Structure 1
Amino acid sequence: MDSVSHGAPAGAHPERLSFRFFVHELQHYLHLEKGLLHTFVDLLVRPGSLLRGYFDGTRRREYTNPIAYGLMAAAASLIAFSTYQKAYVSWMRAQMTTVTPAGMPDGFVQAYMENIFAVTQRSAVTSFLLAVPLALSVWLLFRSARFNLAEAFAFAFYAVGTYLFVYAIGVSPIVYAAHAWTFAQYSGFALQVIVPIWLGLRLFGGRVVNVLKLLLAVGVSVFVGYMVIIVGVITYTVATMH
């Protein structure tokens, strides 16, 4: 019986399993050949050109799909966070309060803070979910025949993904080296605001009215996102308390 491995062309020598093979397969699966680095750089320096080219299809083959881009950014952010997670956890616990306000069940605040704390450790996931209210807000404020809902979601995934990549590459090393926990919180929030506004101004133009619309869209998306998280955590805390 022929001993040639399945999948090898007739008469060809099968390739021995190697890390290069794994990397090649991963690149193929994640479509990294479409230019993850190219997509990231262009979103930083020429986001308007990238977004318009991706929306109208003239340059879509050059760039990573926005959903894949966002997912890979979330993965990068989680990996970066893991490098200082234990120390950050200790700092966060030191900030917690155990005082229960009047009218609240005993231990409610402690249980609520523990659950909020668990959510904050998954900030990459919650940031990725903020793409939904961001997309809807931007679409409602800039809706036109030239900007539809699908394009709004692509914009939001690119914005959130870029924020997560910048945080993982630029902020996380500083946090890891200096244990700058307050800096981590403020810089993370600032990037959540700055990145979508930068992309939006390059896409829609730098008029004052567009600045105001983008500030409103980002503000609404952050408010809605955090309110959903807070209400969800309160509901979960009440339901699981005995």
Structure 2
Amino acid sequence: MTNCRSCNIELTSKYCPNCGQSSQLKRIDGHYIIHEIEHVLHFERGILYTIRELIANPGQNVRNYLSENRSRLVKPIIFIIVTSLIYSTCSHFFHIEGDYINYSGSKESSTSTIFKWIQGHYGYANIIMGVFIALWTKLFFRKYKLNIFEILILLCFVIGMGMLIYAFFAIIQGLTHFKVMQIAGIIGFVYSTWAIGQFYEKGRAINYVKAFFAYILGMITFALTAIIIGIITDLIIKY
């Protein structure tokens, strides 16, 4: 008899009856690494399955994730991190960071430095922007009684899909040299508006209007916050 290394419960089988931890951890080798990659990418309950479901019916699938079954889709935090990494890799590889996000201002200002970081790390900046979009979404859809964390889960999936859309068009632009990132921005915005509106009640047209303004205002307040932080930083440095 041995005890579980996680919760110290006595083991009577290959798995702990309390926490499910295996009694013997597999050695990390090439087979283990391949299995872990397959586990993330496989079509059934993996990232490809999640992408398919978020394309077909994002609102219903995210609602199911929140209230019924959290094992069918990839965890939202993992999803947005992986998709942001995919986008960032594609954008840096094809050098398209500034093609649809641009800031003109003093190159020596802190604001310029902040926006330069946003341009170069848009995948990760988008995660931060999601917080601002979530606050406006909470305001516009307050009657639905969802808390801010549930809305952030929704936006992790929505923004993650946006990152994949941008990555897809970044590859097209990199291979064909046609300027298509502006189109990617439009499609990503339309998808986000549609997905958020569908999540709350797909049969109500007003919800898509609210989603539109929540997303727009989230982007604007994110940009204004970056500008204000830059101005305050410059004032502190100056005085």
Q: Distance in 1 between matches of 2:97 and 2:131?
A: 28
Contact 1:131/1:160 (8 A) holds in 2? yes
Q: Distance in 2 between matches of 1:205 and 1:16?
A: 46
User: Is residue 2:115 matched to residue 1:116?
Assistant: yes
Q: Which has the higher helix share?
A: 1
User: Is residue 2:69 matched to residue 1:70?
Assistant: no
TM-score between both structures, scaled by the size of structure 2:
0.74
Deviations 1:118-158 (Å, cap 9, x if unpaired)? 33011111111111111121122112455333321111111
The one-letter amino acid paired with 1:159 is: V
Q: Once superposed, what is the RMSD of the aligned Cα atoms?
A: 3.3
User: Is residue 2:180 matched to residue 1:205?
Assistant: no
Residue 60 of structure 1 and its aligned partner are, at CA, apart by 1.6
Corresponding residue number in structure 2 for 1:189:
185
Choose the corresponding residue for 1:37, options 37, 44, 48: 48
Q: Distance in 2 between matches of 1:217 and 1:141?
A: 7
Corresponding residue number in structure 1 for 2:64:
53
Corresponding residue number in structure 1 for 2:148:
149
TM-score between both structures, scaled by the size of structure 1:
0.73
Corresponding residue number in structure 2 for 1:126:
125
The one-letter amino acid paired with 1:62 is: R
Contact 2:87/2:123 (8 A) holds in 1? yes
State the SS of the aligned residue for 2:146.
coil
Choose the corresponding residue for 2:29, options 8, 17, 27: 17
Q: Distance in 2 between matches of 1:130 and 1:16?
A: 37
Residue 213 of structure 1 and its aligned partner are, at CA, apart by 0.9
Corresponding residue number in structure 1 for 2:159:
160
Q: Distance in 1 between matches of 2:232 and 2:75?
A: 35
Instruction: Report the identity percentage.
Output: 17
Deviations 1:186-215 (Å, cap 9, x if unpaired)? 234324421221112322224232122111
Listed as ranges, the gaps of 5+ residues in structure 1 are: 1-8, 98-107
Corresponding residue number in structure 1 for 2:93:
83
